[in-house]
Chain A
């Protein structure tokens, strides 16, 4: 059903398998349906076990080095957990995944970086509580990450 809709968009054929750099459209909801279900394991903001499990499921390894990718304009204290701005950039990457341990499941999004893509992206995410945001980039077949603790409190007075 989803696939049919997807084709109707006229995006061309879906590439099966895990080609590292996709020239054609790739929907990870279909490619890797199980990774979206990986749970965070505890309430602790520094427990990254669920995140690491998801990283392994997406990239095939959880060997990740710090660096080469940067999280920026991502708050220390969120104005509101429903709208947390997250920005990240790296010089080049084939794939990037954004994860956190502030919600029941760990994975937020996966980007395939197209040929013309410049991996300097921003999104706004939901965080149900204080937690760590992790961004992982696949660069020349290796994984690099950046992480940041974002504090979330019940936001806003009155009404």
Chain B
């Protein structure tokens, strides 16, 4: 997972790329594989949710997300987690700049 997080003034902006093939039902069928894609993403700072998305097969391969939240959190850690259809989960961390 690649995360870039930056606080500027009273706003924190985050960009992240999550590594996942995001195989839709159609794509999986064509490739003879099983469909699997990220279904839920959240981001936390100080254990508090700052971003939360339920997602589908129609996010691009290696999904990119961009979001903002309130407050200057410079120096703190942001934790982004996801779960896919098969129940695999992953967590990524980055220091907010």
Instruction: List residues of A whose CB falls within 8 A of some B CB.
Output: 1-2, 5-6, 8-9, 11, 22-29, 31, 36, 82-84, 87, 100, 103-105, 107-118, 120-128
Whether the Cβ atoms of A26 and B54 lie closer than 8 Å is yes
Q: Is the CB of B52 within 8 A of A125?
A: no
| Interface residues of chain A: helix, strand, loop or mixed (majority) | mixed
Interface residue total, chain B, C-beta cutoff 8 A: 38
Q: List residues of chain B with CB within 8 A of the CB of A124.
A: 59-60, 63-64
User: B: which residues have CB within 8 A of A?
Assistant: 11, 22, 24-26, 39-40, 42, 45, 48-61, 63-71, 81, 83, 85, 87, 89, 91
Task: Tell me the dominant secondary structure on chain B's binding face.
Answer: strand
Name the CB-closest residue of A to B62.
A124
Within the complex, what minimum Cβ distance (angstroms) separates A4 from chain B?
Answer: 8
When A25-B52, A109-B55, A116-B50 are in contact, do A2 and B68 touch as well, CB less than 8 Å?
A: no
Query: Does A123 contact B52, Cβ atoms closer than 8 Å?
Result: no
Q: Assess whether A107 is in contact with B66, with CB atoms less than 8 Å apart.
A: no
Q: Tell me whether A11 and B42 are in contact (CB under 8 A).
A: yes
Query: Do B42 and A25 touch across chains, with their CB atoms under 8 A apart?
Result: yes
